[in-house]
């Protein structure tokens, strides 16, 4: 189908909530996708960190095919085996004792917010309900999760926001301590901020938050929707920092590209959820859990070590570009979650890369974000870096930015 016809149908039938690029993707394998006219692209967006094993990974597609022929959905009023197996795997791999399943990262964070409030009311009375979150955070687009998101651009038009959130600068422990009062029940933070610009914490920041929560009897919530499932080179990002939270949220790559989310918690905290406290009709359905089980099993030590190696290689290649072009302000990241900060808006760079057959992403206006499959190869990285070099040269030749 021609792009113009697809665009017309989209404009007619679909809510205008995305600024889409002019390409219709119809097929994917590994790091590659193809459009409706047969053009090939290298995908360094991975469904915004959802396809962590690439497109149509055989273990995931086979699990889906098998489960689709047996049982797709039943109510959570009954037990199912795929949900049981997935919960067992997640608790075995993490600090957590209990899992709640839902369908997305926003839903997982919604569940975390509700559980934090419920736990605090159960244990400390009705006056403790506030949650401290960080500037440039992103926790989702429901009313509760945009209220938790400390970025004003996501708030506009949806006021009044949900009460009970206090915002402080990321990486600033003293600001957190000053914000705590008698109403505070939890601190909620992304170990690495994704949508906010791939912001990396100071070495002792997360450890400091853990110590504050212990001393003040607060819950520590880690939003690992984007960082979980091996993205940073460990299965969960918190493992890099020698501490663990009380509640953690996952989604995106949890199902290897299939929609599923989860909230994990320590048993003492999770017991505040009882029948009727929270629910999700499709949460943990057999089909998505079958995909999730396959995805978890596929992210083995070999994939994690490969992710670290490729992340280090990618960073080295990008830092060489930084040495070459003065408009590149910073290159930062962990594993295969990497940001390149420019001195000008980045959308034009993504559009030029698209023309050359590379899907890349930008966030926070000026930051190119690279989140390829964890299985990316050096040759794929080299291809992209060479294209970026070409695009940057053209940008310089247009006279819009200086070169070193």
The pTM for the full model equals 0.97
78-298: CATH class: alpha beta
Catalytic residue among 95, 100, 101, 138: 138
Centre a 10 Å sphere on the Cβ of residue 282 and count the other Cβ atoms it contains.
16
The domain spans of the chain are 78-298
Higher-pLDDT residue of 4, 377: 377
- Interior CA angle at 13 toward 8 and 14, to 5°? 100
pLDDT, tens digit, for every residue of 59-91? 999 999 999 999 999 999 999 999 999 999 999
Catalytic residue among 223, 236, 366, 380: 223
Q: Would you place residue 1 in the very low, low, confident or very high pLDDT band (cuts 50, 70, 90)?
A: confident
Question: Which of 134, 193, 210 lies closest to 169 in space, CA to CA?
Answer: 134
| pLDDT at residue 66, as a whole number | 98
Question: Which of 244, 201, 137 lies closest to 333 in space, CA to CA?
Answer: 201
252 tagged catalytic: yes
Do the beta carbons of residue 32 and residue 380 sit within 8 Å?
no
pLDDT, tens digit, for every residue of 104-158? 999 999 999 999 999 999 999 999 999 999 999 999 999 999 999 999 999 999 9
Catalytic residue among 98, 118, 234, 252: 252
pLDDT, tens digit, for every residue of 354-391? 999 999 999 999 999 999 999 999 999 999 999 999 99
Q: Would you place residue 36 in the very low, low, confident or very high pLDDT band (cuts 50, 70, 90)?
A: very high
| Separation CA 234–CA 231 (nearest Å) | 7
| Separation CA 4–CA 10 (nearest Å) | 10
**Beta partners for residue 134, in sequence order:** 168
**Burial (0-12, 13-18, 19+ Cβ within 10 Å), 58:** exposed
Q: What is the mean pLDDT of residues 94-102?
A: 98
Joined tokens for residue 138 = 């992103």
């Amino acid at each position: 189908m021609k792009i113009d016809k697809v665009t017309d149908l989209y404009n007619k039938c679909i809510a205008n909530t995305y600024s889409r690029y002019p390409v219709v993707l119809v097929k994917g394998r590994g790091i590659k996708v193809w459009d409706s006219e047969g053009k090939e692209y290298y995908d360094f967006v991975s469904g915004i960190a959802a396809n962590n094993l690439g497109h149509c990974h055989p273990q995931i597609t086979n699990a889906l095919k098998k489960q689709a022929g047996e049982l797709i959905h039943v109510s959570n009023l009954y037990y199912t085996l795929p949900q049981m197996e997935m919960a067992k795997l997640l608790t075995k791999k993490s600090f957590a004792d209990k899992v709640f399943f839902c369908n997305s990262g926003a839903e997982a964070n919604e569940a975390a917010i509700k559980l934090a409030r419920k736990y605090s009311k159960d244990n400390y009375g009705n006056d403790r309900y506030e949650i401290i979150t960080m500037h440039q955070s992103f926790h989702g687009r429901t009313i509760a999760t945009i209220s938790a998101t400390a970025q004003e651009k996501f708030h506009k038009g949806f006021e009044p926001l949900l009460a009970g959130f206090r915002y402080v600068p990321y990486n600033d422990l003293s600001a957190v301590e000053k914000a705590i009062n008698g109403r505070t029940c939890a601190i909620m933070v992304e170990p690495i901020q994704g949508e906010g610009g791939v912001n990396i914490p100071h070495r002792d920041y997360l450890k400091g938050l853990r110590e504050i929560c212990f001393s003040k009897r607060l819950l520590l919530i880690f939003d690992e929707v984007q960082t979980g499932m091996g993205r940073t080179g460990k299965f969960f990002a918190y493992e890099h920092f020698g501490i663990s939270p009380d509640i953690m949220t996952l989604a995106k790559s949890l199902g290897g590209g299939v929609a599923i989310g989860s909230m994990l918690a320590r048993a003492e905290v999770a017991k505040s959820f009882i029948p009727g406290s929270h629910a999700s009709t499709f949460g943990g359905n057999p089909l998505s859990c079958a995909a999730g089980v396959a995805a978890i099993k596929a992210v083995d030590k070999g994939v994690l070590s490969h992710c670290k190696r490729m992340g280090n290689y990618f960073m080295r290649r990008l830092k060489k570009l930084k040495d070459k072009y003065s408009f590149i302000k910073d290159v930062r990241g962990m594993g295969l979650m990497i940001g390149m900060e420019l001195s000008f808006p980045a959308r034009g760079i993504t559009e030029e890369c698209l023309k050359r057959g590379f899907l890349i992403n930008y966030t926070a206006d000026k930051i190119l974000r690279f989140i390829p499959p964890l299985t990316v190869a050096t040759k794929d990285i080299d291809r992209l870096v060479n294209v970026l070099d070409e695009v940057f040269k053209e940008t310089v030749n247009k006279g819009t930015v200086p070169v070193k």
